[in-house]
């Protein structure tokens, strides 16, 4: 028995990390259903549906449940295919479903704030299967009896985490209305990286035509309000204009904060264009407005376009030919 448990534990661990990544895109779904052939081969064996459920009060519960469910699906697939050659099951995993407890889908008979395996019947066969799953996972969850009597049914519940965990990092994304705001956005990103070293700040800028008129900082969970307001205050001081922090609903993960540069943040003058510098115009990659030859005079060229003073922001660069090929955003000031 000990040897069997060791092998099953290795199976569980070998596929656990892969499963944790795979589940992230859709947190509620059926992720495994057994082949009907196993029910035909072992008609006396009890098929058991396992719901892996998580409380929504923390992202940590969802990820713990997702990792467990993905590993359990792989575990069931491998062990079910081995029956007949090594063992005859008394009970087997028919299906694995990943679900949240939102909307009362978790009925009475469980303890809030506790991770555990709940059996709907105190059957020797179901308990044996629960102990097998529990031992292979290495989590040592309590195995309890719930109040609802549903034959062939088991719940694994993750509700122990009450709030944001260290895994819930604050992630900041910058959205701008126009490419003419790129210099402002870059300045904001640099300031956030310096003043909020514990935050994960995206280096890319999303340009969104449907941006608001005014500057906003958006967050999606009450626990992110403090960080949202801190960021809004820092940006307001930097821009010298008001920045509104607001709570919105959406599908974002906890810890997500979005900075929206409104149309009011357009630079004075505002005229922008992109120059491609290189040896051959046909080798320029990406969208650009003008072409200049290698080592051309940006200031003189821009002055001819009506700019008295300019700022330059490199968009992209690649090697090739005499001087490579560089796309540069020019903002007239």
* pLDDT tens readout for residues 230-263: 999 888 887 777 899 999 987 788 889 999 998 7
Domain ranges of the chain: 2-158, 171-265, 272-332
Q: What is the pTM of this model?
A: 0.44
Would you call 26 helix, strand, or coil by DSSP?
A: coil
8 A C-beta contact, residue 192 and residue 200: no
> What whole-number distance in Å separates Cα of residue 327 and Cα of residue 278?
9
pLDDT digits (tens, 9 = 90+) for 137-159: 666 788 888 777 788 888 898 88
CATH number of the 171-265 domain = 3.30.70
Low-confidence ranges of the chain (pLDDT < 70): 1-28, 57-59, 84-87, 102-113, 137-139, 161-168, 264-271, 333
| Complete DSSP assignment for 75-95 | HHHHHHHHTTTS---SEEEEE
- Single out the residue of 105, 5, 8 nearest to residue 65, CA to CA: 105
> What whole-number distance in Å separates Cα of residue 317 and Cα of residue 328?
9
> What whole-number distance in Å separates Cα of residue 264 and Cα of residue 257?
20
Query: Based on C-alpha coordinates, what's the Rg of the chain?
Result: 28
């Amino acid at each position: 028995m000990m040897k069997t448990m060791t092998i099953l534990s290795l199976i569980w661990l070998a596929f656990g990390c892969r499963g944790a990544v795979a589940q992230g895109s859709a947190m509620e779904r059926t992720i495994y259903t057994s082949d009907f052939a196993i029910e035909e081969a072992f008609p006396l064996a009890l098929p058991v549906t396992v719901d892996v459920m998580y409380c929504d009060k923390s992202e940590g519960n969802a990820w713990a449940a997702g990792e467990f469910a993905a590993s359990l699906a792989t575990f069931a697939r491998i062990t079910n295919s081995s029956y007949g050659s090594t063992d005859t099951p008394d009970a087997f995993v028919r299906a694995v479903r990943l679900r949240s407890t939102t909307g009362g889908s978790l009925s009475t008979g469980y303890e809030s704030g506790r991770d555990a395996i709940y059996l709907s019947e105190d059957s020797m066969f179901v308990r044996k299967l629960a102990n097998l799953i529990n031992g292979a996972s290495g989590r040592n969850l309590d195995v309890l009896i719930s109040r609802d009597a549903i034959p062939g049914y088991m719940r694994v519940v993750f509700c122990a985490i009450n709030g944001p965990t260290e895994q819930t990092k604050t992630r900041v994304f910058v959205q701008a209305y126009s490419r003419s705001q790129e210099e402002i956005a870059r300045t904001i990103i640099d300031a956030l990286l310096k003043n909020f070293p514990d935050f994960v700040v995206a280096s890319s800028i999303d340009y969104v035509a449907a941006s608001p008129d005014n500057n906003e900082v958006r967050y999606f969970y009450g626990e992110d309000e403090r960080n949202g307001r801190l960021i809004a205050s820092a940006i307001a001081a930097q821009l010298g204009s008001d920045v509104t922090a607001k709570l919105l609903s959406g599908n974002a993960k906890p810890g997500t904060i979005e900075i929206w540069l409104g149309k009011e943040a357009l630079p004075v003058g505002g005229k922008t264009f992109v120059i491609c510098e290189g040896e051959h115009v046909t080798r320029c990659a990406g969208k650009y407005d003008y072409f200049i030859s290698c080592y051309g005079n940006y200031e003189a060229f821009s002055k001819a376009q009506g700019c008295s003073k300019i700022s330059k922001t490199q968009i992209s660069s690649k090697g090739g030919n005499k001087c490579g090929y560089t796309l540069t955003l020019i903002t007239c000031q």
